Structure 1
Amino acid sequence: MAPSISMLQKNPLDIFDFVVNQGHGVKGLAELGLKTLPQQYIQSTQERFDFMSNNVEDNSNKSSIPVIDMSHWDDPNVAQAVCDAAQKWGFFQIVNHGVPIHVLEDAKDATHKFFSLPPHEKQKYSKEHSVTNNVRFGTSFTPEAEKALEWKDYLSLFFISDNEASSFWPSICRNQALNYIESSHNVVKKLLKILMKGLNVEELDESIEPILMGSKRINLNYYPKCPNPELTVGVGRHSDVSTLTVLLQDDVGGLYVRNTETMKWIHVPPISGSLVINVGDALQIISNGTYKSVEHRVTANANSNRISVPIFVNPRPQDVIGPLPGLTKNGEKPLYRHVLYSDYVKHFFRKAHDGKATIEFAKVYFLYKNKNLLLMKNE
């Protein structure tokens, strides 16, 4: 018999055990008839999202990230719009991109179906029970490292091959997730071709492609209705560690992006049939800061459950990323050092969400700063 919320709230450790260790997730917690937010999910004042504050941009004038019509991929104006958005915003939405609408709808439907499974079925894919590290059901971001948990459950699927996916991915969402990845491949490839051409680096050839898009991970995200959304977050402020992220939203909304000029948060309204594209840290590093990965976050919602399906397009774990040689050959200073991508990702996942702090790991001065600290310790 499932415990009551009153029973769980008598001992905070019981809630953590119920949500994280037993695999019920925050969805299971919400479905117990939660009336007030448990203490574990109450964020610090500075991390909460206050719609009435001066830090949230007024969307009444319909201003948001650029929306780009990709009907004509070879149009120079389209290419310019993509590069401008990647430099100024780090985010843009694309419409008429070529991914069939039924593929997008199937991916959203499969997400709802997976999270409708009973807890013991989802628990098979948890960290403790999954037969592979490439399939992971979990909650929040890094629960063990967080002062306050995030109001989100997820299924993370790292793509190795069709055969591996057939063996280990949950059957209820496997084909839909694979179709979404496959159908978006050419979109990603074309966008990266445009962005690389925008860097004006003559030496670029197909050898860079495996570094830019050598691996992919798809997440199925579920954000249950929340009794006190003003006290928590769906996802805390962060930038992605990907090259590019391709995000499919449902019609609920809740994604906010930091406007780097005003430093205010601006809503990304769902547009039917669109995909949200954002620059990740890897592309910021590779472009030597020309293209910007920017902070974004997701709010909790009091009225509706929300789902989203991002595809994270990444370098391979064994790749070393750093500014492309052509960007620094004329005396320009590299802003970032060369780092093993798997080291960068590990640094990201071993801590709570903390805005853009992860990029510091790759900055040139980081190496010298840490060498100096080591010398001081040894003196």
Structure 2
Amino acid sequence: MAPSFVDTRELKTFVVDDGHGVKGLSELNIKTLPELFIQPLEKRLDMTKVVPNESIPVIDMSNSEDPKVIKAICDAAENWGFFQIVNHGVPLSVLEDVKDATKRFFALPANEKKKYLFKNSPTKNVRLVTSFIPEVDKVLEWKDYLSCFYVSNDEAMAFWPPVCRDQVLEYMNKSEPLIKRLLEVLMTRLGISKLDETNQPFLMGSRRMNLNYYPICPNPELTVGVGGHSDVSTLTVLLQDQTRGLYVRKLDSDNWVHVPPINGSLTINIGDALQIMSNCRYKSIEHHVVANGHENRVSVPIFVNPRPSDIIGPLPQVIGRGEKALYKKVLYSDYVKHFYRKSHNGKDTIDFAKA
């Protein structure tokens, strides 16, 4: 018999504290969305502002040395902050395996998943979460996610969930050459000719993988899968399944475009760290995931970041051209902590670093 929730506290305990997540709530076949998830109008995506028949650039990376491909990547990063890539070199079998592994993890019984809640997890680097930050969010988002911060293979083998660990590590490892190549290309427009031991750790010194699960939602129009935000990464490599849901704000606009799932593609977006390092040449872009009333949806982002101990600011090569620094130097871990202290609210995190 399905539990009946007398009050919001009881519902939040079931969803957040007992490991059921919104997936468990969805599987109770509730007919109406609980008030705990009903977002204020300004937090929902206004579908009248979605531009029809337009989306972000799609770039074929089968020859990433081609000057036209290099220009397309840099132009997309500068003018959109988001682009999709095909023929990127990450085997399709690896992409399928990590999507299947995500579904396997979220299919575990609640008492198994509960082991990875922050209060139970044997390491601070692995945590299962519902919404974004349920301790802070006044209204919860309709999403569960498992977050895995990569420290070492040994740490991952010891602490990541066995049901998905190998596939997530494989996805991360097979994506590394692609990430390096994308950063090499993006640096060329900033006057930096190559990645080396001085800048590579700074640009891609840490990585976090999230396994995102968006279950079927009653009244999806009343809530959000993920509220509007920009990522705090250098760049993000996103694998999405074939279910619609991701929307991107057009640069310097109130309009949005849908990012259609293309089989075998990866979606790349610029994060705040690269916006700061490029002195706003490349811009992180607000994006939003809507809830879905008909299908479950999974996605797997790799957040490519500076190291927590790095001081980030506009790169010397950029400022050396005489540009005024738009951002101050900040400790990257301080920037990330600021992001996680508050609910999603567009691009407001970047203000933390403004000069």
The answer, yes or no, to whether TM exceeds 0.5 is yes
1:202–1:121 CA distance, 2 compared to 1 (3 A): closer
| Correspondence 1:14-25 to 2 at 5 A | 14-25=10-21
User: C-alpha displacement at 1:263, in angstroms?
Assistant: 2.5
Q: Deviations over 1:42-64 (max 9, x none)?
A: 0001111232x2x11112xxx21
Indicate the residue corresponding to 2:42 in structure 1.
46
User: C-alpha displacement at 1:21, in angstroms?
Assistant: 1.1
Q: Which one is further off, 295-304 or 254-263?
A: 254-263
Q: Deviations over 1:303-358 (max 9, x none)?
A: 00000000000000000000011211243110000000000000000100010000
Match of 1:31 among 18, 27, 34: 27
CA contact (8 A) 2:187 2:194 kept: no
What secondary structure does 2:95 align onto? helix
Amino acid at match of 2:58: V
Counterpart CA distance in 2 for 1:362 and 1:12 is 37
Counterpart CA distance in 2 for 1:317 and 1:339 is 11
Counterpart CA distance in 2 for 1:143 and 1:124 is 17
CA contact (8 A) 1:91 1:276 kept: yes
Q: Which has the larger radius of gyration?
A: 1
Indicate the residue corresponding to 2:136 in structure 1.
145
What secondary structure does 1:206 align onto? coil
Q: Which one is further off, 259-268 or 213-222?
A: 259-268
User: C-alpha displacement at 1:22, in angstroms?
Assistant: 1.1
The answer as to 2:61 corresponding to 1:65 is: no
Q: Deviations over 1:100-152 (max 9, x none)?
A: 00000000000000000000000000011000001101110011211210000
Match of 1:265 among 239, 256, 274: 256
Counterpart CA distance in 1 for 2:194 and 2:349 is 29
| Over 2 Å off, 4+ runs | 201-206
Counterpart CA distance in 2 for 1:201 and 1:72 is 21
CA contact (8 A) 1:203 1:326 kept: no
The runs of 5 or more residues in structure 1 that have no matched partner are 365-379
The answer as to 2:276 corresponding to 1:285 is: yes
What secondary structure does 2:74 align onto? helix
Q: Deviations over 1:281-315 (max 9, x none)?
A: 00000001000100001000000000000000000
Count of aligned positions: 355
Indicate the residue corresponding to 1:341 in structure 2.
332
CA contact (8 A) 1:288 1:324 kept: yes
Match of 1:357 among 345, 348, 355: 348
Counterpart CA distance in 2 for 1:245 and 1:330 is 27
Counterpart CA distance in 1 for 2:195 and 2:123 is 36
Indicate the residue corresponding to 1:192 in structure 2.
183
Indicate the residue corresponding to 1:221 in structure 2.
212
Match of 2:113 among 109, 112, 122: 122
Indicate the residue corresponding to 1:320 in structure 2.
311
| Correspondence 1:166-315 to 2 at 5 A | 166-201=157-192, 205-315=196-306
User: C-alpha displacement at 1:164, in angstroms?
Assistant: 0.7
User: C-alpha displacement at 1:240, in angstroms?
Assistant: 0.1
Amino acid at match of 1:56: V
CA contact (8 A) 2:147 2:209 kept: yes
TM-score normalised by L of structure 2 = 0.98
The runs of 5 or more residues in structure 2 that have no matched partner are none
Q: Deviations over 1:199-250 (max 9, x none)?
A: 1247974311001000000000000000101000000000000001000000
User: C-alpha displacement at 1:12, in angstroms?
Assistant: 1.2
Match of 2:147 among 137, 152, 156: 156
Amino acid at match of 1:286: M
Q: Share of identical aligned residues, percent? A: 61
Q: Which one is further off, 202-211 or 291-300?
A: 202-211
TM-score normalised by L of structure 1 = 0.92
